[in-house]
Chains A and B, each alone.
Chain A
Amino acid sequence: MSEINGKPILEGQGVTKEFGGLQAVDNVDFYLQEGEILGLIGPNGAGKTTLINLITGTIPITRGEISFKGRLIVGLPSYKIGRMGISRTFQVVKPFRGMTVLENAAVGAMFGRNGLKRSTQRALGKAAEVLEFVGLSTKSDMLADGLNVPERKRLELAKALAMEPEVLLLDEVMAGLNPSEVDEAVGLIKRIRDSGVTILVIEHVMRAITGVSDRIFVLHHGQKIADGPPEQVMNDEQVIQAYLGKRYGRAQREGEDAGD
């Protein structure tokens, strides 16, 4: 899955975001090949969510270029990017609380890719299909307010999927889930990829990210420090240092005698 075939579906060059003097994302190049699952990891504050926010136009970019299927999308409003086929979930889930679960998904089906061609009736039908797919169909008529955490995560996914995305950006959809729920979520993400969607996953649950990703991309202090197959990235010295600290990295390098 991870071998490079043709032009990437989503590509960023020199992507930079400054908040005041802080470089939240610092001159990052990235790409997503069609059909792959790319894992994006990094310690807290590495700039992962900021990168997603830049791709979807949720916050304005400082410098750099991002293109989707060869078309520059920097500066476009969020709703246009969403309609072109890039969907995302939010780390802190954002359900439309006063709506039912079905209506939540229907919003995605109504306004996402091909959404404007759909009548409200057909959008509700599409929403029902998506809820079936993520396993929420028994909760269709409940207010989104009444869902528990794992269900809310699924709803977040359903809203994004109902938009019929070509690229799906998942921001910590597995945080707060227990191990068996994580396994279910991993299965779900793979099934989404198999249906033809290219996926970027941000995750802190290591077991999940190594299990699901074809390739892993590591951000640290806003900069890219590694990019490659999971095994390689997980053994990368810089990555270990970023996660476990410099002293741990040095200790490992120098052997057990320096470990006090």
Chain B
Amino acid sequence: MRPLTFLLILIILVVSFSLIPFGVSSYWVRFLSDIFMMAILASSWNVIGGYTGYPSFGNVVFFGIGAYTTGVLMGKFSIPFFPSLLIAALFAVIFAVLIGLPVLRLKGHYFAIATLGVAEAMREVVANLNITEGNMGLTLPIYLNPNFFYYVMFGILVLTLLLTYWVTRQRLGYGMVAIREDEEAAAVAGVNTTQYKVIAFALSGIFTAMAGGVHAYYMTYIEPGPVFNVMITVEMIVMSIFGGVGTLLGPTVGAFIIEGLSELFSTYFLIIHALFFGAIVILAVIFTPRGLLDMLSGRRRFGLGYFLENIRQNRV
């Protein structure tokens, strides 16, 4: 995407979304805040899973770390919200480096399982620590202002997208995509693959952790189970795949569409809602494996044509 196009899209979005809270009910403000949060998570997952090609199944670990770091700092040490949020991001980076160095040596399914394990283990750690009050849950100072959380989430989403856009145009972005396409060829071409994978993992963690921190403050009460819930990782992945893996705006588009449909279904068709995620994944993988945005780009075939071609090629 050209810088001017991106800037234009961004300005239009920023202006319109900044005005929305003045014209709608607090239900919509909350609903949009949730979408922003999922868009941050999906876009962040996209950095490691989409651009770098390392499908993390444990990215919720950063969300949980962010939530708990913010929670403990605000609840136990009375540190203000924004400093807590920055420290949460810092913790996520440190965690990403420490865990990434060993785990990023694994590839494909092995990497996915290992990250899943890391997230599950972290939930147990948090559930058994004193400072996090274990399974009792942690209470934060109460601040009831939906508009505040709306703007903070939106701000973080914009930051996430700006940073992703910038990175993809840097040496780092080229290196990440090269690693995704062929790690051995990337190394031979001079890419320090270990370093780049760890940086990508850390970038993926920063904004996920911040979203976790905002979520904690917004909820005012967090427990290990919900904030380390593997379903959150699944949602990140589904939204990214649906919107377009390895594209800048794909995960955000995916978050809007899936959250929107999900809300619609849960209001009007409660039973179908349970089937919703499964159906979306199957449809997306069969008809548009590179996501909605790729369909629009027109570079590859999609839909029934793609499906039939795939069957022919793989002799299913």
Task: Give A residues with C-beta under 8 Å from B.
Answer: 56, 58, 77-79, 82-83, 87-88, 90, 94-99, 103, 106-108, 110-113, 115-116, 120, 123, 143, 159, 163
Report the minimum CB–CB distance from A88 to chain B (whole Å): 6
Q: Are B175 and A111 in contact (CB under 8 A)?
A: yes
Q: Are A79 and B182 in contact (CB under 8 A)?
A: no
Return the CB mask of B160-183 against A: 1 if under 8 Å, else 0. 000000000111001101101110
Q: Bound complex: CA of A83 vs CA of B193, how far in Å?
A: 13
Other A-B pairs beyond A103-B177, A115-B190, A120-B174, 14, CB < 8 Å: A58-B184, A79-B188, A79-B190, A79-B193, A87-B188, A87-B189, A96-B186, A99-B178, A106-B174, A110-B174, A111-B190, A111-B191, A123-B171, A159-B189
Q: Bound complex: CA of A99 vs CA of B191, how far in Å?
A: 16
Q: Bound complex: CA of A112 vs CA of B178, how far in Å?
A: 13
Q: Are A79 and B187 in contact (CB under 8 A)?
A: yes
Size class of B's contact patch?
20 to 34
Q: Bound complex: CA of A56 vs CA of B185, how far in Å?
A: 11
Q: Are A107 and B191 in contact (CB under 8 A)?
A: yes
Task: Give B residues with C-beta under 8 Å from A.
Answer: 169-171, 174-175, 177-178, 180-182, 184-193, 246, 299
Q: Are A120 and B169 in contact (CB under 8 A)?
A: yes
Q: Are B187 and A98 in contact (CB under 8 A)?
A: no
Report the minimum CB–CB distance from A180 to chain B (whole Å): 28
Q: Bound complex: CA of A179 vs CA of B246, how far in Å?
A: 40
Q: Bound complex: CA of A82 vs CA of B178, how far in Å?
A: 15
Count how many pairs of residues, one from A and one from B, have CB atoms less than 8 Å apart in the complex: 83
State whether A108 and B177 are in contact (beta carbons under 8 Å apart), knowing that A58-B184, A120-B169 are contacts in the complex. Answer: no
State whether A103 and B188 are in contact (beta carbons under 8 Å apart), knowing that A79-B193, A97-B181 are contacts in the complex. Answer: no
List A contacts of B177 (CB < 8 A): 96, 98-99, 103
Q: Bound complex: CA of A110 vs CA of B191, how far in Å?
A: 9
List A contacts of B190 (CB < 8 A): 79, 82-83, 108, 110-113, 115, 163
Chain B residue nearest to A124 (CB atoms) is B174
Q: Are B188 and A120 in contact (CB under 8 A)?
A: no
Q: Are B174 and A78 in contact (CB under 8 A)?
A: no
Q: Are A96 and B181 in contact (CB under 8 A)?
A: yes
Q: Are A107 and B246 in contact (CB under 8 A)?
A: no
Q: Are B184 and A94 in contact (CB under 8 A)?
A: yes
List A contacts of B192 (CB < 8 A): 77, 79
Q: Bound complex: CA of A78 vs CA of B174, how far in Å?
A: 18
Chain A residue nearest to B53 (CB atoms) is A98
Q: Are A107 and B188 in contact (CB under 8 A)?
A: no
8 contacts across the A-B interface (CB closer than 8 A): A77-B192, A82-B188, A90-B188, A95-B185, A96-B181, A107-B174, A111-B190, A116-B171
List A contacts of B193 (CB < 8 A): 79
Q: Are B299 and A82 in contact (CB under 8 A)?
A: no
Q: Bound complex: CA of A90 vs CA of B55, how far in Å?
A: 26
- The listed residue (A90, A98, A116, A143) touching B185 by CB distance below 8 A is A90
Report the minimum CB–CB distance from B54 to chain A (whole Å): 15
Chain A residue nearest to B246 (CB atoms) is A98
Report the minimum CB–CB distance from A24 to chain B (whole Å): 18
